[in-house]
C-alpha cells in the first residue's frame, strides 16, 4: 500500500499599492487568492506568524514602513512572506521668487506641501541635511547665491534637494 502526504501551501498575499516611494501616506490593502485563509501581518519589519496581527482592513502607512504578510489556515500551510517597503518622503521645497537674475536684493520664501515637515537649507553650496540651518522665515539674498533645501520630519523621510540660484546684478 502506497501512502502520499501532500502539503498544500497558501498563495502569498498581495499588497496594494505595491511598496515604493510616495509623498503622501498610503492605505495598503492585503488580499490573498487562497480561499478560507487568514492573512497575518507586521509593520515593524519582523517576520509574521499566525500569532501576528490578523488583517481586517486597509493598513494606514503614514511614515516609512515595511509590511510583511503571510496567509495561513483553511487547510493550507503558511505561505511564503510577501513584503512591501513604503518610503514616505516629503515634497521638495519650492522657492518664491524662483531663482533667476534680479537687479535688487530678494526676500526668498521656502515652502513644502508636506504637512508637519521642516525645511533645512544651505547657502554655501553644500548639500543640506537635517543638521543644516532650519528655515524659520524669508532668506534675504543681496548677492549672487545658490540656496539648496530639503524638507524632512513630521513622519516624512528627507525630500529630494530643491535648488535655486539667484544672480544679483546692480
Q: Is residue 49 very low, low, confident or very high in pLDDT (cuts 50, 70, 90)?
A: very high
Distance in angstroms (rounded) separating the CA atoms of residues 93 and 149:
6
Mean pLDDT of 119-126: 96
Mean pLDDT of 31-47: 95
Residue 3 reports pLDDT greater than 80: no
CATH architecture assignment, domain 94-168: Sandwich (2.60)
Provide the pLDDT for residue 4.
74
Domain segments of the chain: what residues? 14-88, 94-168
Which residue do the cell numbers 537687479 mark?
A: 103
Mean pLDDT of 82-88: 96
Mean pLDDT of 123-134: 97
Provide the pLDDT for residue 5.
75
pTM, rounded to two decimals: 0.80
Mean pLDDT of 73-79: 93
| Average of per-residue pLDDT values in the chain | 95
Q: How far is CA 139 from the centre of its chain?
A: 28
* CB < 8 Å & 24+ apart, contacts of 3-8: 7/77, 8/75, 8/76, 8/77
Q: Confirm if 163 and 147 have CB atoms less than 8 A apart.
A: yes
Mean pLDDT of 29-56: 96
Amino acid at each position: 500500500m502506497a501512502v502520499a502526504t501532500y502539503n498544500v501551501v497558501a498563495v502569498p498575499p498581495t499588497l496594494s499599492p505595491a511598496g515604493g516611494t510616495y509623498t503622501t501616506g498610503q492605505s495598503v490593502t492585503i488580499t490573498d487568492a487562497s480561499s478560507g485563509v487568514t492573512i497575518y501581518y507586521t509593520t515593524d519589519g519582523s517576520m509574521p506568524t499566525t500569532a501576528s496581527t490578523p488583517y481586517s482592513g486597509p493598513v494606514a502607512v503614514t511614515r516609512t514602513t515595511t509590511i510583511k504578510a503571510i496567509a495561513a489556515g483553511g487547510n493550507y500551510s503558511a505561505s511564503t512572506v510577501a513584503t512591501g517597503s513604503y518610503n514616505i518622503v516629503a515634497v521638495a521645497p519650492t522657492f518664491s521668487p524662483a531663482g533667476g537674475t534680479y537687479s535688487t536684493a530678494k526676500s526668498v520664501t521656502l515652502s513644502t506641501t508636506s504637512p508637519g515637515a521642516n525645511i533645512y537649507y544651505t547657502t554655501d553650496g553644500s548639500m543640506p541635511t537635517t543638521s543644516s540651518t532650519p528655515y524659520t522665515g524669508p532668506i534675504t539674498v543681496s548677492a549672487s547665491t545658490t540656496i539648496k533645501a530639503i524638507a524632512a520630519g513630521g513622519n516624512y523621510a528627507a525630500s529630494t534637494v530643491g535648488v535655486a540660484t539667484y544672480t544679483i546684478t546692480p
